[in-house]
Amino acid sequence: MAYIRYPIIGDTTHGDLRQNRGISHHFASSRLMLHVSYLSFKHPMTGDKLQLIAKWDDAWMHLLSQFSWLGIVPELERQHLSIV
């Protein structure tokens, strides 16, 4: 994403060093802030469709609350991994 000037927060290889330092200092988070909330694929052995839904963890919830973005996608606002 860096090549189109949308670096991922926390990406120490391709990200923006100043941005990462600011986020780390202000939000106390030094991890990669990349999240896949929905993934669907066929099981390689059975062919059954698998759906994985991962809700935001505490680090994401803290970041969202700091920007007053809570409530934008309420179905992802609880830490939980479910396999359907």
Judge if 27 and 42 occupy the same domain.
no
Judge if 27 and 63 occupy the same domain.
no
Query: What confidence tier does 1 reach under pLDDT thresholds 50, 70, 90?
Result: low
For 5, the domain range is 1-31
- Kindly state the tokens that stand for 34: 């990349």
Judge if 9 and 40 occupy the same domain.
no
Predicted pLDDT at 81: 47
Judge if 83 and 61 occupy the same domain.
yes
Residue 77 CA to residue 64 CA, distance in Å, equals 10
Query: What confidence tier does 2 reach under pLDDT thresholds 50, 70, 90?
Result: low
23-74 pLDDT tens trace: 777 777 777 788 888 899 999 999 999 998 888 888 888 888 888 888 888 7
Judge if 48 and 25 occupy the same domain.
no
Predicted pLDDT at 43: 93
24, 30 Cβ separation under 8 angstroms: yes
Lowest-pLDDT choice from 9-18, 61-70, 75-84:
75-84
Judge if 74 and 44 occupy the same domain.
yes
Closest by CA to 58, choosing from 33, 83, 79, is 79
20, 10 Cβ separation under 8 angstroms: yes
Judge if 23 and 39 occupy the same domain.
no
